[in-house]
Structure 1
Amino acid sequence: MKLGVFMVLFGDRSFEEALDMAASRGLKAVEIGTGGNPGKAHCNPDLLLENKAAREQFKKAVESRGLMISALSCHGNPLHPQKALAQQDHDDFVKTVQLAELLEVPVVNTFSGCPGDHEDAKYPNWPVAPWPNDYQEVLKWQWENKVIPYWKEWGAYAEKHHVKIGLELHGGFSVHTPGTLLRLREAVGEVIGANLDPSHMWWQGIDPVQAVAILGKAGAIHHFHAKDTTIDPINVNMHGITDMQSYSLMQDRAWQFRTVGYGHDMKTWADIISALRLHGYDYAVSIEHEDGLMSIDEGFTKAVRNLQQVIMEDSAAEMWWV
């Protein structure tokens, strides 16, 4: 495995400074934003797609520091019912796929998107209960008319460009659990897989080790984010896991994101890393920082130190004792 970082953390630094930061901590991989929510601070597909020399310089900047690009990321909502918003996120995705092929990056990370509840809707609608039955009707319409048709078309496009799609299982989007990921994968094909982030499993009540096993057995993990979550045992009884309060209200929220090791102990993280290897994932472990109690530098540094204790970088040895 290769320990890496999602470079959106360092969006206020130049590309070269961000790469230096990653290399100085002994990392081996970087995940780079190319649009959508991660933004384009370090990579503008429009510029690199039309300029081969710029692409070569871009790759050299990464490789000369002993790094590789694990994924390009353009997390957005290409299924947004407002067509202008959907088009922007769709265009970012298409350009990112094109660029990933040219840069020989095997994975593009994004969200599945979430449609509205009918053709003229204005906002996304995320059904989370089977009753009243209206919600089942909305869910059926979304998957049959929007989610599956979109990803069938653009999954095939990604495959044609030799790129896998890592969908982050994230609340608020149609694909947010192992089950919804596998449903889409069954409909679309193996080009669809997870960008699995344990932090989003914990707050949904899903054990990340079991999520790794479920998805890993299906060969459906394309990328992995390293981020932690803590659940407040008092606040969760007040607000539930679908707490809609701002992330900034840290004393009141039911759960919040934390740096690796500050939500769950390192035995838990060792179990997650072991499960990844056991079930066939030996690629990047990409650190993401969204901890409201720590500075970016401190949170990043502590995540690196903690993960270095448990990540398995060497290939497994032969079982000489067998």
Structure 2
Amino acid sequence: MGKILVVGSSNTDMVIKAPELPRPGETVLGGEFFSFAGGKGANQAVAAAKLGGDVIFLAKVGDDELGKNAIQSFQKLGIDTSLIRSAKGLHSGVALILIDGNGENSISVASGANNSFTLADIDSIDEVLGQTEFVLVQLEIPIPMVEYLVEKCSEKGVKVILNPAPAAKLSLSCLAALNIITPNETEAEMLTGVKVSDEKSAEKAAHVLLESGVENVIITLGAKGSFFLNRVEKGLVPAFSVQALDTTAAGDTFNGALAVALAEGQSLKDSILFANRAASISVTRMGAQDSQPFRHEIIL
């Protein structure tokens, strides 16, 4: 298996599960409180590690107990934490998550140390990149740092999987350097201007990204599955039917699983099927990293 370098955020998730999400100015009583390790980068690193990936994680945490606890939990899963930096004087990232009775969520994030990434942090991984097959990155760290990382990987011939979440615009030079991009419907619309709701509209948006230079486009469509497109093939890989309890880490689980399957040499279509299965398991459980499956749970 090739090594997977995950670059991204690490947060602590503070979660309230209530019958419904509050509207602006409204207070909803009767919720349950939970606290979980989270952050898109951390979630994807943990997902990959739990599924058997050889994972190294580059992240910034605060010089606080939340950061120390996060590093310890990564190490217990066998993640290489040698690249995790402690940002003096900054708090670790925190996410406040509200979940309704249908498993839908609303999230607000105080990024803290995640926003302290610098060019020096990215330049420090040159040696690691020489041993890496796939870099997996998201948009919860400053976008200029993401784009610098993508360009550096392109120069060194390292394949990048970009999960463009939270939704944001990216430069054409960044898109053109990507091996794989994995937006959901909302993120695909932000990047292409095409409103995505089904396979047909997903294909239209995917063509826009393909023409921007992305080598492989995968648009996740929730319960409808995942649509993929490149210059050779296209198709809709079906989702697995489950009763969703909490969708918080579904996308992160998908991306971590996708990286593992590709690093093992599975085909793109088979890798997407594997990722769909892992994500379908995660939504049946509460939390982010706690909800993610281990390899022995994946039955296709």
TM-score category (smaller protein): 0.3 to 0.5
* TM-score relative to the length of structure 2: 0.41
Greater radius of gyration (CA): 1
- As a proportion of its length, which structure holds more strand? 2
TM superposition score normalised by structure 1 = 0.39
RCO comparison, higher one (Cα < 8 Å, 6+): 2
